Amino acid sequence: MFGTLSRILPNSISRALIATYYKSQLIFAKESHSSQELIKMSGMSVQILPALSDNYMYLIIDNDTKEAAAVDPVDPDTLFSAVKSLNVNLTKVLTTHHHWDHAGGNKKVKDQMKDIVIYGGDKRVDAVTDIVKEGQIIQIGNLVAKCLETPCHTTGHICYVVGPAGSPEAVFTGDTLFIGGCGKFFEGDAKMMCDALIGKLSSLPDKTKVYCGHEYTVQNLKFAKLIEPNNPALSTKLEWAVQARSANKPTVPSTIGEEKSYNPFMRVIDENIQSSFGRSEAIGTMKDIRKKKDNTSPKLYM
């Protein structure tokens, strides 16, 4: 829906309509789509903060200094409540891309915290103070966040690899990589998504935890079964995800290693998947899988 709006309407009008839609979700939301959870890792913790109907915000915490950074804080009130309850010092916002359901809370955060630094990949990010580039390092207490340019869903999309220096523990992928899926190619193409997923994210250590921007896991994995119906890793993950969602638990994080075992968009280099689409290379396979997902009614795999 939003891709169509962006194509047929002037940018300012389409952005206003999309913002109105998501603001209505904030107003009328009765309960969170998932429970909040605190994930502890080496030197850092991540507070999972569900927002809107299926978004995830995150609070990254340096365990030593209690300095913190927020990822895509579309619901500032929920963020501020978490900052207070965890007794941390919020100093930065890491924005993955400019879409309102990710960047729409930035201005309110900035209005209430004048000294906060808001990072993003292009000037379309609301209230951005610092535009980042590939390889740029952002300090969060004793943690480092390395910026990866992953254009495709939007041209300014950034993923953030975070952990103690020299030891990446987590990657915050916004709408580039989902559990079992990837974002739509709104401003890019199959080659760009291959560069992002295969060229960059797949090269991270397998143990790196993946924190994505939306709770799309069950529907993504059910679609993936259309591509690889006999993949045991996929079957196991889908069964687990269905149980987690029935208990209102988030399915984040996964790991890079897991995604390489069942996510069809991370498996486009697999010869069996390529041949199933009559291909012998990754880019064409990426294009075909994205087209199939875009053109397949969710009713066929839900």
Q: Which residues are known catalytic residues?
A: 97, 99, 101-102, 153, 175, 214
**Cα–chain center distance at 4:** 21
Asked if 186 and 174 touch (Cβ cutoff 8 Å), the reply is no
Going by C-beta distance under 8 Å and a sequence separation of 6 or more, which residues neighbour residue 89? 65, 66, 67, 68
Rg of the chain, C-alpha, whole Å:
18
Strands 170-174 and 177-178, how do they pair? Answer: unpaired
DSSP 100-149: HHHHTTHHHHHHH-TT-EEEESSTTSTT-SEE--TT-EEEETTEEEEEEE
Nearest Cα to 17, choosing from 50, 8, 52? 8
d(CA 142, CA 156): 27
Amino acid identity, position 193: M
- Please give the helix or strand (H or E) that residue 135 lies within, else none: none
